[in-house]
Amino acid sequence: MANSKIVMGKDDVPMWESIERGAMELQKCCTCGAFRYPPAPVCPNDLDEKSEWTKVSGKGTILSWVVFHKKYFDDHVPLYNSVAIELEEGPFIVSQLQGAEPEGSWIGKSVELIYGEHAGRIQHFAKLSA
């Protein structure tokens, strides 16, 4: 077993740097305006190559969630959750919900991104919106 790792390809560096600053930026297509995730050289909507790193609001809703009971990584000790979040800018991302958990289904709950240390790196987490 080992720690989970982040991707640090050419496309990903600006995203992780923005996460370090506590304000995640994603690529926004210069032609159609679509945000995309994960970072990539082309827009999924119109395949345009020009994009601008643009700060996202960090607001979104939970699309799905899971709770791990089995250990897969040294740095993620069960019980821990992973949530798929549809950002208000459009694309969905994966994060982990911290703090209060919803009663019953988590799907559709409003969340916002917060930032914190994990395994020696800064990454985002989600918390339920007030």
Residue 53 within binding range of another protein, rule CB under 8 A: no
Phi, psi of 20 (to 5 degrees): -55, -40
Please give the Cα distance from 65 to 45 (Å, whole number).
26
Q: Tell me the closest approach of the beta carbon of residue 93 to another protein, in angstroms.
A: 7
Q: Considering only residues 18, 28, 39, 56, which one is a binding residue for another protein as defined by CB under 8 A?
A: 39
Please give the Cα distance from 20 to 122 (Å, whole number).
6
Of the two residues 48 and 130, which places its CB atom closer to another protein in the complex? 48
Residue 30 within binding range of another protein, rule CB under 8 A: no
Q: Tell me the closest approach of the beta carbon of residue 84 to another protein, in angstroms.
A: 6
Please give the Cα distance from 25 to 55 (Å, whole number).
4
Distances (CA, A) of 61 to 27, 70, 118: 20, 26, 23
Distances (CA, A) of 20 to 24, 40, 75, 77, 93: 8, 19, 19, 23, 17
Q: Tell me the closest approach of the beta carbon of residue 68 to another protein, in angstroms.
A: 5
Q: Tell me the closest approach of the beta carbon of residue 8 to another protein, in angstroms.
A: 8
| Residue ranges in contact with another protein by CB under 8 A | 4-7, 9, 11-12, 15, 34-40, 43-45, 63-70, 72-73, 75-76, 80, 82, 84, 87, 90-96, 105, 107, 118, 121, 123
